């Protein structure tokens, strides 16, 4: 059966071999049979520039390069952890970088795909932070810094974020329903797929005679989370980690 796969929020890092193993197995055993793979952001725990060539990163890049060489197109939308993935990464892996909000034709169903952070408007502190770090000039300056310093700044940001999140309510950290509706209307579609909130679910609702669907991908902390879509629809699934 033809099918397309979606994943997000893996937060790959050298400290979580279980996630990496699950991901590499997913790539070599499952993704090879798909029509396409979409990665909707936060593939990495943090990305500080395409010039960061650790053996860990190399291993992940090789998995993507192998897949694209086998003829499976891979599309990537930036998350809030890896928005610095750039043209060089794309060239080295054969993946295609997409705009932060992209409409695709999913077996005849027009679908808006995005990371999901732009839906969280109630989180004003995050939106202010996002506007700052998305400035081209600031990103350019950051990418000119030595890797060791970039690594320290990223760690500070991660710690600052974890700290800030402890003070935020779960409503603030979820999507803003009006913004979901606005982005769907803006794109002229009734289907959306995103990640970021780590609240895997298929939301369905009816408004003014239209049936809407919003699928939220899960994170990969306890197990893998994979959305499998085909001509008959989509199925949100999990993948077990193998414990050694």
Residues that bind ligand LP5 (CB under 6 A): 46, 48, 80-81, 84, 117, 120, 123, 125-126, 129, 133, 138-139, 142, 153-154, 156-158, 160-162, 164-165, 168, 173
* 12 Cβ contact list (under 8 Å, min separation 6): 19, 20, 23, 43, 44, 45, 60
Which of residues 77 and 229 has its CB atom nearest to ligand LP5 in the complex? 77
Residue 65 burial by Cβ neighbours in a 10 Å radius (0-12, 13-18, 19+): middle
Tokens representing 127? 């939106």
Stretch that binds Mn ion, among 51-59, 143-151, 190-198, 221-229 (CB under 5 A): 190-198
123 binds Mn ion (CB under 5 A): no
Question: Within 13 A of 67's CA, how many CA atoms are on the CB side?
Answer: 31
Task: Quote the least distance from Cβ 4 to ligand LP5, whole Å.
Answer: 26
Binding Mn ion (rule: CB under 5 A), the pick from 3, 11, 150, 196 is 196
Task: Quote the least distance from Cβ 208 to ligand LP5, whole Å.
Answer: 29
Q: Is residue 186 a known part of a binding site? A: no
224 binds Mn ion (CB under 5 A): no
Task: Quote the least distance from Cβ 28 to Mn ion, whole Å.
Answer: 25
Question: Within 13 A of 172's CA, how many CA atoms are on the CB side?
Answer: 11
Q: Report the SS3 class of residue 19.
A: helix
> Could you say which DSSP state residue 96 is in?
E
219 binds, among ligand LP5, Mn ion, none (CB under 5 to 8 A by kind): none
Q: Which residue is nearest to Mn ion (CB)?
A: 196
79 binds, among Mn ion, ligand LP5, none (CB under 5 to 8 A by kind): Mn ion
Residue 121 burial by Cβ neighbours in a 10 Å radius (0-12, 13-18, 19+): middle
Q: Please, are residues 34 and 63 in contact by the beta-carbon 8 Å criterion? A: no
Tokens representing 154? 């990223």
Which of residues 26 and 83 has its CB atom nearest to ligand LP5 in the complex? 83
Which of residues 92 and 174 has its CB atom nearest to Mn ion in the complex? 174
Helices (H) and strands (E) in the chain, counts: 8, 11
Which of residues 36 and 180 has its CB atom nearest to ligand LP5 in the complex? 180
Which of residues 63 and 120 has its CB atom nearest to ligand LP5 in the complex? 120
Residue 105 Cα distances to 30, 108, 142, angstroms: 22, 6, 36
Question: Which residues, listed in sequence order, are joined to residue 36 by a DSSP beta bridge?
Answer: 4
79 binds Mn ion (CB under 5 A): yes
Binding Mn ion (rule: CB under 5 A), the pick from 80, 93, 191, 225 is 80
200 binds Mn ion (CB under 5 A): no
Binding residues for Mn(2+): 9, 11, 42, 80, 115, 196, 198
């Amino acid at each position: 059966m033809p099918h397309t796969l979606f994943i997000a929020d893996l937060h790959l890092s050298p400290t979580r071999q279980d996630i990496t193993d699950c991901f590499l197995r997913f790539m070599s055993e499952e993704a090879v049979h798909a029509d396409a793979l979409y990665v909707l952001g936060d593939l990495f725990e943090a990305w500080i520039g395409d010039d960061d060539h650790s053996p860990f990163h190399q291993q992940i890049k090789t998995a993507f390069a192998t897949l694209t060489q086998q003829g499976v197109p891979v599309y990537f939308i930036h998350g809030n952890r890896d928005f610095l993935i750039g043209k060089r990464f794309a060239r080295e892996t054969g993946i295609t970088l997409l705009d932060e909000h992209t409409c695709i034709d999913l077996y005849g169903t027009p679908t808006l795909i995005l990371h999901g952070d732009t839906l969280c408007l109630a989180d004003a502190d995050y939106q202010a932070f996002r506007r700052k770090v998305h400035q081209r000039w600031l990103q350019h300056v950051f990418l000119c810094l030595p890797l060791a310093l970039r690594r320290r700044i990223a760690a500070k940001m991660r710690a600052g974020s974890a700290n800030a999140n402890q003070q935020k309510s779960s409503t603030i950290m979820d999507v803003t329903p009006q913004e979901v509706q606005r982005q769907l209307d803006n794109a002229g579609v009734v289907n959306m797929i995103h990640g970021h909130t780590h609240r895997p679910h298929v939301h369905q609702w009816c408004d003014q005679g239209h049936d809407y669907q919003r699928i939220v991908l899960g994170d990969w902390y306890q197990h893998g989370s994979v959305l499998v879509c085909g001509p008959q629809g989509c199925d949100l699934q999990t993948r077990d980690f193998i414990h050694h």
